[in-house]
Chain A
Amino acid sequence: MSLKDSVNNAYSSWMTGTGPDNDVVISSRVRAARNLSHFAFPHMLDDDKAQEVIHAVSLALENRGADCKPGKLEINNMIELSPEDRQILVDKHLISNDLLKDHGRKAVVLSEDEAISIMLNEEDHLRIQCILPGMQLESSWLQVNNIDDELEKTLDYAFSEKFGYLTACPTNVGTGLRCSVMVHLPALVFTEQIKKVLPSISKLGLTVRGLYGEGTEPVGNLFQISNQVTLGHSEEEIVQNLVSVTKQLLDQERTAREALYDDRKEYMEDKIGRSYGILKNSRIISFNEVMSRLSDLRLGIDLKIIKDVSPQLVNELIVLTRQAFLNKEAGKELSVFERDVKRANIIREKL
């Protein structure tokens, strides 16, 4: 799949709704920051030097053995994409917002299944990322580690024996590793247990933030949990810490779901059924409402109340109903009202 295909398709392999523990863990992501030793960090480079970095990485990619997983990796310059297409890559979690700024000097490498993406000249020269469905942090790390090993054969990384991999921001130095899981916690939110759970997580060296709700209230009961500290622990320890905390969270969410369903069966079935009905029948709907209705729908699928919708479709709808995709579908910039109408149309069509 080329990049052109990628931006025309809301689907990405992490959205399959498969993978271990997918009733709570939507996706697992590992991202490693790397810099080249003979260049200043990206924010200090002029455009020519920034292009040299991209060139050096493209040579390193060509030098990879023919049988290397995950197959051929190609560089795409951000400038070749329309603003909408760039935003779609952000919405699909393949690149960060930072890659949208100053895009003339930035590039992205994508694997065919979109599990691997490498951002070039973001805050660091390379951000190697792997995103997989469900609870698969260990294998995400293994894939990132493999690509890192292959690239390192050609590239000279900025590395210090004391501080480890050197990064533009000292908060990433050492392993340069940021691991995260995206979890769906409707029962913990509904029972308000979340208010106790989240503060205790941040005491364990992890950070939690709501998804799609930066600065405002999190929407859709989706949370991203990631490691705070990158130095002093091995990559495996960082991964394991997040795995074990996520497992505890998973147990708590499942227990809360069971209790809710046992105690308030009719209430839950009613809430989920109504949300499904609204998604199937509305003519005008905002993104925030979609997110909370889809959260109910997803819970309904996991509780086996709803049997004719796949988790994958729910994940795709989250991307399909965002602004960038709606504009792209319409072929023009839509007003808020036009977007709400278009969004409702797409959902009715898909459900």
Chain B
Amino acid sequence: MLCERCQKKEATVFYTEIINGQKKQLNLCEECAKELHSQGFDFMPQLNFHNFLGSILGHNISNFTKTSLGANKCEVCGLSEEEFAQKGLLGCGNCYENFGNTLDSLVRSIHGTNIHNGKVPEKTSDRVKYKKEIESLRSQLKQAVAKEQYENAAKIRDSIKEIEKRLEQEG
């Protein structure tokens, strides 16, 4: 596809802007994009299909900055919420935790949920398994104590400790 401005070079930069729910799109070559940018045109860059979705949510992302109550910067990568709102990209895996509740609700508004239901890396799946085991043992422990089955409770407590040790060793 040719650049819409100069009609000479291949368009490599795709811009999308959402104004009052109307989508405006502009396909430019690298040079024209730079030139327009320097003239003060401020389109949201749409690098690929995924960012396209992000730009639809542009409205959402700017709300994100205003209503945010959490940290202003990710303490691991240093990305600020403003930068995130501008780029639509997070800085590192820790951003998900460091931006807390506001990111949580953003994720929910994009996907309709905030809980992963798919593949788990094998290394992690052991940890998930152990954690689930501990959870279930803890509730068994509560029941045992409630029923005053102290011998049984002691056994359960030992099993919990053993799994916790394994979890720690595997880091």
A residues adjacent to B (C-beta < 8 A): 35, 37, 39-41, 43-44, 87, 96-98, 100-101, 123, 145, 148-149, 152-153, 156-175, 177-178, 207, 209, 212-216, 226, 228-235, 238, 323-324
Contact = CB atoms under 8 A, between A and B. Distances in A.
Contact of B25 (A41, A157, A215): A215
Nearest to A327: B10
A56 to B, nearest CB: 15
Interface of B: 1, 4, 10, 12, 14, 25-27, 47-51, 53-54, 57, 76-77, 79, 87-93, 96-97, 103, 106-107, 110-124, 128, 131
A172 to B, nearest CB: 6
25 contacts: A35-B93, A40-B92, A41-B93, A87-B10, A149-B122, A153-B122, A159-B124, A161-B116, A162-B114, A162-B116, A165-B116, A165-B119, A169-B50, A173-B96, A173-B111, A174-B116, A174-B117, A174-B118, A178-B50, A214-B1, A215-B4, A216-B1, A231-B110, A232-B117, A234-B119
Given A145-B119, A169-B88, A44 B77 contact: yes
- Most chain A beta-carbon contacts within 10 A, residue among B14, B88, B117, B120: B117
Nearest to A333: B9
Given A101-B47, A166-B93, A209-B49, A323 B114 contact: no
Contacts of B57: 171
Contacts of B14: 97, 214-215
Given A40-B91, A170-B107, A159 B121 contact: yes
Nearest to B10: A323
A324 B12 CA distance: 13
A228 B53 contact: yes
A44 B12 CA distance: 22
A213 B25 CA distance: 12
Contacts of B77: 40-41, 44
Which 5 pairs from chain A and chain B are nearest by CB? A164-B116, A158-B93, A232-B113, A231-B111, A215-B25
Given A44-B79, A96-B48, A161 B124 contact: yes
Given A41-B91, A231-B116, A226 B107 contact: no
